[in-house]
């Protein structure tokens, strides 16, 4: 079992506390403690340095160098030389492309961080609803277990007075034993769900606000799928990353082709010399010399290295173009899946709500029929199981629909913290 998730914590989640954490509060905890999100923040910080590194390629470089020499056996000769040198690129196309790539790399880092923010919202939402779903499953199983125990007691009383057979008792006992096993499994599922949420927020979860039972879900706006697809093709952050990556790849082609072009640099320097010679005293002394000029270079042959790098970068640009197309198709697919998940989920919720009413009526009818002798014990047990299964599936359908709504906005590149705040309005006190 995961450390930190104790039976006391589990009990606290299943009881009504004085304070409960809602979805936005859990998200705020994740912002402060989730290591995946923190890693993305540091990656953004590192990526922002690319623009400074790229700009350095077009700025001047200044350096100082010097030497000290001493020679002679009996005669001592020495010389000190210091040179201050400045070089300013005037015509270096490769350097300008490096600068441009630095700015584009920052855009990639920003898009990746924005995607990490969306991913955190999805992970928090999924972990939160997984806990609620596991709580519901355990609560429904416990309620079903109580109902089965009442039916078991009734079957025993009827057998004692001779109005029922031992079969009714055995069937109820078998259902009760099965409910015990299912309760253990459901409790384990809840502890696992709590552990997953703890991994994100960095601390044992406090009791969570539950989804209100009378909540009415609606379709995200716009209601048609086409605007969502258009948004995904243009604003999905994975698509944006691949778009900028393609620009970087195209810039790399230009940078490598610049290896064929001449380069021109402005150079300026100041030289200081201090010479001392016993052999030629007339050369002793110190002096300064200033220089300024232009240095140029025309590449003629480099063993086809430049041409090979150009061909390589062209192939990588083609790869980036294919990656972009794949990102667009994936974004559209995710939109379609999430949109259908919301649309069908809303229909499923309505169907389960109707099924809950029907299952409750069926249970009441079977109980009455059992009392008057036209239904047997197994009919009541089946009706009970049907009702609690329907309620469990209804709750899960609501959670899945809400999650698909978040996934839809994420695929379209529009998921924000405000979307969690909207879901927060659907939450109420923790389930008892």
Q: Is the pLDDT of residue 80 over 60?
A: yes
Q: Is the pLDDT of residue 145 over 80?
A: yes
The SS3 of residue 26 is helix
Global pTM reads 0.86
Q: Is the pLDDT of residue 285 over 90?
A: no
Q: Is the pLDDT of residue 84 over 90?
A: yes
Q: Which of 149-153, 266-270, 280-284, 394-398 has the lowest mean pLDDT?
A: 280-284
**Quick one: pLDDT band at residue 75, thresholds 50, 70, 90?**
low
**Which has the closest alpha carbon to 208: 14, 395, 21?**
21
How far CA 414 is from CA of 7, 56, 123, 235, 292, in Å, comes to 39, 35, 16, 8, 56
Give yes or no for a contact between 208 and 13, defined as CB atoms under 8 angstroms apart: yes
**What is the third-level CATH fold of 7-33+92-261+303-423?**
Outer membrane efflux proteins (OEP) (1.20.1600)
How far CA 329 is from CA of 95, 197, 322, 323, 395, in Å, comes to 35, 31, 11, 10, 32
pLDDT digits (tens, 9 = 90+) for 15-36: 444 468 999 999 999 999 999 9
Residue 7 vs residue 313, higher pLDDT? 313
Instruction: Give me the residues paired with residue 81 across strands.
Output: 67, 273
pLDDT for the residue 2: 39
Residue environment code for 212-221, b if the CB has 16+ CB neighbours within 10 A, otherwise e: eeeeebeebe
Instruction: Give me the residues paired with residue 67 across strands.
Output: 81
Domain boundaries, the chain: 7-33+92-261+303-423
How far CA 5 is from CA of 29, 33, 73, 138, 275, in Å, comes to 17, 17, 83, 16, 79
pLDDT for the residue 431: 67
399 sits in which H/E element: helix 377-411
Q: Which of 56-65, 117-126, 153-162 has the lowest mean pLDDT?
A: 153-162
Q: Is the pLDDT of residue 83 over 60?
A: yes
């Amino acid at each position: 079992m995961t450390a930190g998730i104790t039976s006391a914590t589990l009990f606290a989640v299943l009881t009504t506390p004085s304070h409960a954490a809602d979805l936005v509060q859990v998200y705020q905890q994740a912002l402060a403690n989730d290591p995946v999100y923190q890693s993305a923040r540091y990656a953004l910080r590192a990526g922002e340095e690319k623009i400074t590194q790229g700009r350095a390629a077009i700025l001047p470089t200044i350096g100082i160098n010097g030497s000290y020499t001493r020679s002679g056996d009996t005669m001592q000769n020495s010389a000190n030389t210091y040179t201050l040198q400045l070089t300013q690129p005037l015509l270096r196309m490769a350097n300008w492309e490096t600068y441009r790539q630095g700015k584009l790399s920052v855009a990639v880092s920003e898009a990746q961080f924005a995607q990490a923010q969306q991913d955190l919202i999805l992970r928090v939402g999924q972990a939160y609803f997984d806990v609620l779903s596991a709580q519901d499953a355990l609560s429904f199983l416990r309620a079903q277990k109580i109902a089965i125990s009442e039916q078991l007691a009734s079957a025993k009383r009827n057998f004692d007075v001779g109005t029922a057979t031992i079969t009714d008792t055995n069937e109820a006992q078998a259902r009760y034993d099965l409910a015990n096993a299912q309760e253990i499994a459901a409790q384990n599922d809840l502890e696992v769900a709590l552990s997953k949420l703890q991994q994100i927020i960095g601390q044992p979860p406090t009791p969570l606000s539950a989804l209100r039972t009378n909540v009415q879900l609606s379709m995200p706006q716009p209601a048609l799928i086409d605007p969502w697809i258009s948004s995904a093709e243009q604003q999905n952050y994975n698509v944006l990353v691949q778009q900028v990556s393609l620009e970087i790849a195209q810039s790399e082609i230009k940078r490598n082709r610049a290896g064929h072009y001449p380069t021109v640099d402005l150079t300026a320097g100041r030289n200081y010399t201090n010479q001392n010679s016993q052999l030629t005293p007339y050369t002793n002394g110190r002096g300064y010399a200033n220089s300024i000029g232009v240095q140029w270079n025309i590449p003629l042959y480099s063993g086809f290295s430049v041409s090979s790098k150009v061909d390589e970068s062209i192939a990588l640009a083609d790869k980036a173009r294919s990656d972009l197309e794949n990102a667009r198709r994936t974004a559209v697919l995710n939109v379609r899946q999430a949109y259908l998940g919301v649309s069908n989920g809303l229909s499923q919720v309505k169907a389960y709500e109707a099924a809950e009413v029907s299952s409750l009526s069926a249970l009441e009818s079977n109980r009455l029929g059992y009392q008057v002798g036209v239904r047997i014990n197994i009919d009541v047990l089946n009706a009970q199981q049907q009702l609690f299964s329907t309620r469990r599936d209804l709750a899960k359908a609501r959670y899945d629909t809400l999650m698909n709504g978040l996934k839809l906005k994420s695929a379209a590149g529009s998921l924000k913290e405000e979307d969690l705040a909207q879901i927060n309005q659907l939450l109420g006190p923790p389930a008892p």
